Amino acid sequence: MPAVASKTAVEPSPSPASSLLEPSCCEAAAEALTIVRDGVITGEGPTTKGRVHFSRSLDTDDVAWCERILMSAAINDQPVSRAEAEALFEINDAATERTDGGRFENLLAKAVAHYAASASGLPVPSRQVALSPDTEIESWASGYASKVNSEMLQWIAGKMRRQGNHRLTAMVATFLGVTALPLASQLSGIFDLGM
């Protein structure tokens, strides 16, 4: 797959946090995402410097920090890790107000699909391609629905049950496919499949 340049990504303002939030490995990326989470919770910290940021809110700058962390050149060819996916779910839980136009949900769904597919032994595109705001999740993840192992499907179902976010659930349903029958009974209460 050719790399897709992001035209819609907002670059966060350079700050002393920039070097702190330039991960060299997936573990460092997960740690950097917790710094974003803390900024979302408190409205303070290195990712909120120089701007008005209310506690428990998530805006386009927060999403840009997450994108920058997750698509760092040092980890571009590594699949999203479980720790990174968990950190994104924590950010999602922390944000009660959203002014990001759905960009975070889009990123979260793609990161979860990337992690689940790779953890199931499936090849995944680079992060620059898979996580780009300009790449539709259906363009690379929809073919994996029947190939993701049941442990990953159960993990996703558990997270979705806790999240209660219908838009995010619909995006992840695209990845899982409505024909993932082994968990259909568990997922029917989560996904609004119109059945």
Residues 146-166 have a mean pLDDT of 77
The mean predicted confidence, pLDDT, of the chain is 81
| pLDDT band at 39; cut points 50, 70, 90 | very high
**3-state SS assignment for residue 59:** strand
pTM comes to 0.79
Give the model's pLDDT for residue 134: 95
Angstrom CA distances, 5 to 12, 14, 68, 127, 130, stand at 17, 20, 13, 12, 11
| pLDDT band at 72; cut points 50, 70, 90 | very high
Q: Looking at the predicted structure, is the pLDDT value of residue 127 above 60?
A: yes
Cα 12–Cα 18–Cα 21 angle in degrees, nearest 5: 100
| pLDDT band at 192; cut points 50, 70, 90 | very low
Picking from 110, 125, 116, 120, the residue whose alpha carbon sits closest to that of residue 78 is 125
Give the model's pLDDT for residue 77: 97
Q: Looking at the predicted structure, is the pLDDT value of residue 169 above 60?
A: yes
Lowest mean pLDDT among 57-61, 76-80, 111-115, 163-167: 163-167
Q: Looking at the predicted structure, is the pLDDT value of residue 121 above 80?
A: yes
Lowest mean pLDDT among 45-59, 71-85, 115-129, 181-195: 181-195
- Give the residue, 138 or 14, on which the prediction is more confident: 138
